[in-house]
Every structure is written in structure tokens, then in C-alpha cells.
Structure 1
């Protein structure tokens, strides 16, 4: 699994189902998966708990879609 989307799909969850279980909305999950926003620490912890992975791993999965600093120049 290289990103949140892969992990979510491997668990058989749609964005709205994951959002409901983790206490955030599907739009937030979509923005995280598409690299539009960086997940807050609270969201990372809730997603990690819901998906059964460590918060450290979830942070890496959530940040995988973010543009790198090299892309910003």
C-alpha cells in the first residue's frame, strides 16, 4: 500500500463509509487522497484507528499524494 486510497480500497471501504467511521466527511478524505490538503494530526489518528494501522504509517500514507517541495519550484 502506497497511499490512503490503496489502503481504504483494500479494506473495501468507500470514502463516505470511511468518513463515517473516522468522524470526517468524504470530501475531506477525497482532498487528502488527491494531495489537495495535508491531514491534521487528529484526522491522521482517527483514520489510523479506523483502518488498523499506526499513526506514523497513516501520516506517510496521507502525505504520499502531497506535491513534493521540488515540484513547487
Structure 2
């Protein structure tokens, strides 16, 4: 018996968008708070913003996509024929 595949719907799309916006706000607020409390210097804050923040967003997007059902596995692949 095969399992049924369900595509994520509009609620998952809205949850993904809300989760990403929340992650952006929380990440930027954390960077700002650390900078204002003099934990980060200007150079380290810019490095964190330019080099580390995109990696953080990719990790958050990966976690959200798996949680909301956007992940793919081997059964979703189709053979390619010429």
C-alpha cells in the first residue's frame, strides 16, 4: 500500500512567510541589542550581518520547510528519459 502525498497548502505558505519574518526580526533585534550593549564591535556586527545572518536564514528556512512539509525525498524524484 502506498502512502498518499499531500502538497503543502496556503496555510503552510503563510506559516512559512510568518516564520521567516519572525526569524528576520528576532535575528536583527538580537544583533542590534548585542551591538547596543557593546558586546559586538562595529566590525563584528557588520561581519555577523553580512556573513553569518544569511547562513542563519538558510538554517531557519530549512527547518521551517521540513516542519511544514516542503521537504522532498527520493520518492519525489522522477526518472529522466531521452
Which of the two has greater helix per residue? 2
Same fold (TM over 0.5): no
